[in-house]
Amino acid sequence: MSELVERLRHERLTLTRTISMVENGGAGAANVLREITPATGHARVLGITGPPGAGKSTLVNQLIHFYRGQGKQVAIVAVDPSSSISGGAVLGDRIRMQEFYGDSGVFIRSMASRGQVGGLSAATNDAVRVLDAAGFDVVIIETVGAGQDEVSIARAAQTTILVEVPGLGDDVQSIKAGILEIADVLVVNKGDVPGADKLITYLKTMLTYSHYDWKPPIVKTVAVEGKGIDELAAQIDKHFAYLEQSGKLTDRTRAALHDELIERVKLELAARIAAQLNTAAGAAMLDELVSRELDVATAARRLVEGLC
């Protein structure tokens, strides 16, 4: 075991700083990833997503208590990709941090948007790797929204849990197309309010259109009262067992790494292209585009040729 991994497991400050380092990218991040990668692969990685107001944070807190009760170490990565311009709102993790203050078996980190599509996803993946190497048994990635960024963040999870609640407007429209397809386990939270059963029926109907050979179970919870959490944890385990037995765990990891690699290379190259546009020649090219002497397809081709 490398010295860094050893320290990650015993020093909270090293853990916090190492996550910041991978978030910042560049050579520092690359060195960390090279050193920690052999020590990863132990953590169970869960993704939790769903619309604002669905009670995700409460549900995650209940899962933390559940896994802590089993003696497991739990880390949370709370991600808000919805604010691409203003810099991202921080989820309710201050309150949460207070709830688990003093418990060294719980670690909570929030990730703000990295400004660029793919940047947040790469940073989240790397933070999960650091937490995995640091010995956390369960890493929960909590995200808001249902955009492209979220779909790629979900890919880092072995099991993705979609939380819905009754009463968030018209069901057909509030459950965004595409998001159901990334869900391995569905949760209908606030399961005791009117409309919960109707929502379950609706979700069941939607799931009949799924081509996926794993049939996502629907778990009813009342997160504020801790109801349904045991059942949720059982379904998460069942999904993981399915992944292992079917051989899909490796397929999934491989597909996620494939997509992540493309994203990372794109990010790296985007930085180089931006630098190229930031030269006198780049400014001249933009002038020609603005005046319509040059078209974007030709300009893009020239940039690619200049890069490679």
The arrangement of strands across the sheet holding 106-111 comes to 106-111, 74-79, 138-143, 44-49, 159-164, 185-188, 218-220
| Cβ atoms of 103 and 68 closer than 8 Å | yes
Only one of the segments 70-78, 101-109, 141-149, 155-163 lies at the binding site for a copy of itself (rule: CB under 8 A); that segment is: 141-149
Nearer to a copy of itself, 84 or 226 (CB): 84
Residue list 9-38, contact with a copy of itself (CB under 8 A): 29-30, 33-34, 36-38
Only one of the segments 101-109, 191-199, 220-228, 267-275 lies at the binding site for a copy of itself (rule: CB under 8 A); that segment is: 267-275
Nearer to a copy of itself, 49 or 66 (CB): 49
Bridge partners (DSSP) of residue 106 are 74
Q: Which helix (H) or strand (E) holds 187?
A: strand 185-188
DSSP-based three-state secondary structure for 110: strand
Tokens of 92: 């309710």
Only one of the segments 4-12, 65-73, 184-192, 246-254 lies at the binding site for a copy of itself (rule: CB under 8 A); that segment is: 246-254
Per CB under 8 A, 52 contacts a copy of itself: yes
| Cβ atoms of 195 and 167 closer than 8 Å | yes
Per CB under 8 A, 90 contacts a copy of itself: no
Among 90, 95, 193, 307, the residue binding a copy of itself under the rule CB under 8 A is 307
Per CB under 8 A, 47 contacts a copy of itself: no
Per CB under 8 A, 181 contacts a copy of itself: yes
| Cβ atoms of 113 and 84 closer than 8 Å | yes
Among 177, 234, 241, 284, the residue binding a copy of itself under the rule CB under 8 A is 177
Cα(161)–Cα(232) distance, integer angstroms: 9
Per CB under 8 A, 301 contacts a copy of itself: yes
Per CB under 8 A, 117 contacts a copy of itself: yes
Residue list 216-245, contact with a copy of itself (CB under 8 A): none
Nearer to a copy of itself, 280 or 308 (CB): 308
Residue with tokens 């790397």: 126
- The DSSP 8-state label assigned to residue 142 in this structure reads E
Nearer to a copy of itself, 170 or 213 (CB): 170
Residue list 273-292, contact with a copy of itself (CB under 8 A): 273-274, 277, 286, 289-290, 292
Per CB under 8 A, 170 contacts a copy of itself: yes
Cα(218)–Cα(81) distance, integer angstroms: 26
Helix axes 248-277, 119-133, angle to 10 degrees: 130
